[in-house]
Amino acid sequence: MKTTQTNLRHAEWLSAEEMHIVSKEWLSELNFIKDEHLFFEDLVTHFTSQLIASDKFSDSKEIVDAINRSEKHNNKLIEAVKMHENELEIMVDGIDQKEAEKAYTKEHQDLVIGIKDFLKEYKSLKTQLFDIIKNIKKEDKRSHLLDRE
């Protein structure tokens, strides 16, 4: 909790250039995640029969739903960051607009928290998905070994 407060106070002192750089980094990371979502969809498609047949079908269905929710959330964050970037002019236009600048900084702080929370959930989602696929691969390998005997 203390770290978040420190990061928020730090965000208040970021320059327009620093906020621009952070926003570009967010977009890069979120676009990469967008590509990963496509990979996850291909992975799920490839292992559909094993996911359906497994004794953990409800877990598999839940992870597929989580991927879909994550993909939608990621797309919303991409749009929010793009809008945030487009509004950066408020910070650099040379016009003294204290309230608008304060609102922009607050929006940046909200994005810091939102993206941090999303990335934490996303990492958990990836771990769960890879664990499910790993277990399917192990079971598949075991069954192939048993078939050979």
Task: Write the CB contacts of 11 (distance below 8 Å, at least 6 apart in sequence).
Answer: 105, 108, 109, 112
Q: How many Å is the maximal CA-CA distance in the chain? A: 79
pTM: 0.81
Sign of the dihedral defined by the CA atoms of residues 67, 7, 82, 106, in that order: positive
Q: Which H or E element spans position 18?
A: helix 16-46
DSSP-assigned letter for residue 94: S
Q: Which two tokens stand for residue 136?
A: 């399917």
Sequential pLDDT tens for the chain (149 residues) = 444 444 544 455 678 889 899 999 999 999 999 999 999 999 988 888 887 776 667 777 888 899 999 999 999 999 999 999 998 887 777 777 888 888 888 999 999 999 999 999 999 999 999 998 898 888 888 877 666 65
